[in-house]
């Protein structure tokens, strides 16, 4: 592991600290009038998902974690698990739904996914900002029904349930924001 100082921190960098693997969400160098300078950081626990605030002395050495981003193609589901193929070596790996988190709601057969790996452990996924999925089931919208705000629940081909406008029907392709899980438009 490369060792860096807290003066070299950048947003998005991953650190291996004593209590786990953390990604820097935000940081600020502070030089008070009295005393020594320090670096205040907001860190996201890569494995658990929670965020913590942590303060380091300026110039303190920390271990930078090497995160390998590799392209994989989703092949199929094996029970609850997902089976991916490495795009370079053609090796297949089986991934649990817990390792993917919410990303499993946006992955369909043949989709390309970038998996972030720390050694052989999957610590995150890199999805496109929006994906196109097919509506499996939704109730027909009633003309003039505006009491519900003009939306209705729809189940996607991955099993995710989202709110869509009343004019969307079964079998239509829609564009979904992968960060918020919201309907964007028809595809």
Residue 99: give its domain's CATH number.
Answer: 2.40.50.140
One domain for residues 82 and 58: no
pLDDT at residue 40, rounded to an integer: 94
Q: Residue 98: enclosing H or E segment and its boundaries?
A: helix 97-100
pLDDT at residue 146, rounded to an integer: 59
- Report the alpha-carbon distance of residue 90 to residue 8 in Å, rounded: 36
pLDDT at residue 154, rounded to an integer: 92
One domain for residues 144 and 182: yes
pLDDT at residue 84, rounded to an integer: 93
pTM for the predicted model, two decimal places: 0.73
By C-alpha distance, which of 135, 108, 133, 131 is closest to 177? Answer: 131
Structural domain count of the chain: 3
pLDDT at residue 145, rounded to an integer: 56
Query: What is the DSSP-derived secondary structure letter of residue 113?
Result: E
- Report the alpha-carbon distance of residue 161 to residue 177 in Å, rounded: 13
Please say which residue of 81, 99, 126 terminates a domain: 126
pLDDT at residue 72, rounded to an integer: 93
Residue numbers in the chain where pLDDT is lower than 50:
none
One domain for residues 135 and 118: no
CA angle 110, 115, 119 (to 5 degrees): 140
The residues, any chain, with a CB within 8 Å of residue 146's CB and separated by 6 or more, are: none
Domain hosting residue 21, numbered range: 3-64
pLDDT at residue 179, rounded to an integer: 85
The structure tokens 């029907």 sit at 169
- Report the alpha-carbon distance of residue 132 to residue 147 in Å, rounded: 28
Identify the CATH number of the domain in which residue 35 sits.
2.30.30.30
One domain for residues 135 and 87: no
pLDDT at residue 119, rounded to an integer: 86
Structure tokens at 45: 């626990």
One domain for residues 148 and 118: no
pLDDT at residue 168, rounded to an integer: 85
The structure tokens 């920390």 sit at 62
One domain for residues 114 and 73: yes
User: What b/e readout covers 118-130, taking b as 16+ CB neighbours within 10 angstroms?
Assistant: beeebbbbebeeb
């Amino acid at each position: 592991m490369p060792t860096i100082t807290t003066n070299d921190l950048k947003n998005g960098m991953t650190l291996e600290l004593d209590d786990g693997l953390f990604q820097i969400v935000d940081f600020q160098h502070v030089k008070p009038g009295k005393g020594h300078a320090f670096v205040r950081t907001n860190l996201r626990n890569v494995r658990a998902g929670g965020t913590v605030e942590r303060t380091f002395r300026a110039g303190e050495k920390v271990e930078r974690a090497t995160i390998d981003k590799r392209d994989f193609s989703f092949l199929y589901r094996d029970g609850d698990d997902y089976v991916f193929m490495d795009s370079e070596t053609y090796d297949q790996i089986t991934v649990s739904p817990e390792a993917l988190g919410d990303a499993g709601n946006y992955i369909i057969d043949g989709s390309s996914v970038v998996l972030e790996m720390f050694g052989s452990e999957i610590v995150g996924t890199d999805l496109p900002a929006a994906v196109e999925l097919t509506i499996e089931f939704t109730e027909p919208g009633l003309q003039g029904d505006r009491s519900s705000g003009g939306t209705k629940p729809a189940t996607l081909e991955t099993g995710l349930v989202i709110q869509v406008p009343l004019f969307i029907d079964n079998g239509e392709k829609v564009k979904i924001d992968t960060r918020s899980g919201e309907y964007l438009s028809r595809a």
